[in-house]
Amino acid sequence: MQKDLQLWQFIRDRLAKNQEVMLLVVGESTGSSPGRQGYKMAVSAAGGLCGSIGGGVMEVELVEQASAILAGPRPIATGSLIEQVHRRNAEHASGMICSGQQTVILKELTPEDLQTVNIIYDALTGEGGYLLLFGSTYFSAGPDFCGTRRMDPDYSGRISFERHLDDFKYSEELNSPQRLFIIGGGHCALALSELMSRMDFQIHILDDRPELNTIEKNRFADRVTIVDSYHKIAEHIPPGDDVYVVVMTLGYLSDAVVIRKLIDHQVKYFGVLGSKAKMATLIKELSDEGLASDKLSRIRTPIGLPINSRTPEEIAVSIAAEIISVKNL
């Protein structure tokens, strides 16, 4: 499950029980700040916690401050925005020395916000197209205008934070996480699913074997699709710069089928599991069939960073590292 989905589930459950919740969001960050833009944490008036805004002493202090605010009627002394500078002797020093800086939003949510939180939760479990938008005096979510926003020349990404004198505006496109399609649901897919699920990727497993035990064990996948044939694999994978494809089917022939069907897909990452010898042979065969060399060169193979990985878990680490390096370019 995505981290954000867990957080909004936590908030939804508390608001449904008439408990107030303080939502902490990193509005912006610079340098080596441990909290990155969009990191979130929730503090319940009843004492529960969910999420993280970077950890360390600064998080502990903000949790204490949030709890104190929820416990009493007094207003936030420093307003809705908390500046944290991670350097010694700096104004607004956080107690950390990593030389970064972050602005944390404290937004108190009440049971009256439950309807909005339900919209957020439904958007995160649906097909997206929604926007979270809030400031110090409002908290809303609704149908996005993501397409329009992305055509704006000033578009700066799925998260936006703006200051307006003593107020602010935070907006975030909902349900636009990175999507990882793992074709083949074996042991390596299980290990990779577990690892990537911790990094807020939506995990989609596709296989043509309906009774595979590793698929039954895979509780980390957001969706599992049993396909009739890999010849129809393109029907299940959309193009997009938020789409990552990892091919690890049962064997050489099915890998070749998948490559042929997806070679024209424009995706962020396309990797195929296999030894150097196997993949060199496969790429040559596909080239001999007439597949363009510039398209074949986009395939990352052997997949993963070269760390001499052997076990499924080690292979998963090498693939995850390569995916992250591509995502963060």
Task: Assess whether 149 and 215 both reside in one domain.
Answer: no
pTM recorded for the entire structure: 0.66
3-state SS assignment for residue 176? coil
Instruction: Verify that 199 and 115 share a domain, yes or no.
Output: no
Q: Rg for the chain (alpha carbons), in Å?
A: 23
The pLDDT value given to residue 164: 81
pLDDT the model gives residue 143: 87
| 284 and 305 together in one domain | yes
Instruction: Give the C-alpha separation, 33 to 37, whole Å.
Output: 10
Helix intervals (H) in 72-167: 114-125, 146-151
Are 134 and 240 in the same domain?
Answer: no
Same domain, 162 and 205: no
**pLDDT averages per 10-residue partition of the chain, 329 residues:** 84 97 91 77 95 88 92 60 59 49 91 96 80 93 66 62 87 83 97 91 94 93 94 94 94 95 95 94 94 93 93 98 93
pLDDT at 300: 96
User: Do 258 and 289 have their domain in common?
Assistant: yes
Q: So what's the pLDDT on residue 32?
A: 57
Tokens 């939180």, residue? 117
Question: Looking at the structure, do residues 291 and 147 belong to the same domain, yes or no?
Answer: no
Residues 8 and 153 in one domain: yes
Domain count, the chain: 2
The Cα 228–Cα 317 span in angstroms is: 30
Same domain, 263 and 211: yes
Among 174, 197, 221, residue at a domain's last position: 174
Same domain? For 63 and 188 the reply is no
Residues 99 and 163 in one domain: yes
Residue type, 187: H
**Among candidate residues 114, 143, 174, the one where a domain is terminated:** 174
- The overall average pLDDT reported for the chain is 87
Examine the fold and report which residue of 155, 174, 193 is the final residue of a domain before the chain moves on.
174
What's the confidence (pLDDT) of residue 97?
44
What's the pLDDT at 96? Answer: 45
Domain that holds residue 23: 3-174
Residues 159 and 20 in one domain: yes
Q: Hey, how many other C-beta atoms are within 10 angstroms of the C-beta on 295?
A: 15
Domain CATH for 191: 3.40.50.720
What is the per-residue pLDDT for 130? 87
Provide the pLDDT for residue 42.
Answer: 97
Contact in structure between 252 and 278 (CB atoms under 8 Å): yes
Token pair 């986009």: residue:
298
Whether the upstream peptide bond of residue 302 has omega within 30° of 0, thus cis, is yes
Beta bridge partners of 134: 139, 170
